[in-house]
Structure 1
């Protein structure tokens, strides 16, 4: 099971990432735009995805890992249960969320170093 500390370590390893508080919980930003935040429960991560269709696909494919609440209806944001995701998948999810919010030039730099 991954933890909030795992999320923090993976998120802060991405270029130009900072940690701030959002709604009283840790959140991670790239150049001022949030790309991940812990929910109040402490074992759920909030992540943007590319489209509502991607969100629906994740939830349909892995409902034990991904879910939503009415608050996020109509938004391309998915909730991730940390107890149901492994570190490798978490790294991919955080990196993709980071890419969605990072400036293009910064995202291209990450690709150049991959």
Structure 2
């Protein structure tokens, strides 16, 4: 498996409509409006991303060496984390797009999806 990079994360995220990049407490975060859907750890080795809370345990169970729970303070959110060194290529792109999809209006996603299909 190919290792994901910060540049790859940035490239995918910034290609998605309404996404803005912010540096918050020395962490790069991507958001739509005020909603963060993607965040890199301070050392840029892990990636937190929006993900349905009710499906989080199942994703982590598929491969706990790649995916893990967010800190206890973030468990109430629709959020999961992954090791960037174990994510790359189409899988990383799909995780980013699905995280973004959770926070944009359906019509924005539909319009974007038509353009890439």
Q: Do they fold alike, i.e. is TM over 0.5?
A: yes
- The answer for the alignment partner of 1:54 in structure 2 is 55
- Cα shift readout 1:19-65 (whole Å, capped 9, x = no counterpart): 11223211111233221011123110111112x22111110001111
1:38 corresponds to: 40
Question: Residue in 2 aligned with 1:101?
Answer: 103
Q: Which structure 1 residue ranges, 5 or more long, are not aligned?
A: none
Following TM superposition, where does structure 1 have runs of at least 4 consecutive aligned residues deviating by more than 4 angstroms? none
Cα deviation for residue 98 of structure 1 reads 0.3
How many residue pairs are counted as aligned between the two chains?
113
Which residue does the alignment assign to 2:83? 81
Q: Distance in 2 between matches of 1:27 and 1:99?
A: 16
Alignment partners' CA distance in 1, 2:62 and 2:14:
28
TM-score normalised over the length of structure 2: 0.87
Query: Normalized against structure 1, the TM-score is what?
Result: 0.89
Distance of 1:10 and 1:84 partners within structure 2: 17
Q: Distance in 1 between matches of 2:55 and 2:25?
A: 25
Contact 1:37 1:45 in 2 (8 A): yes
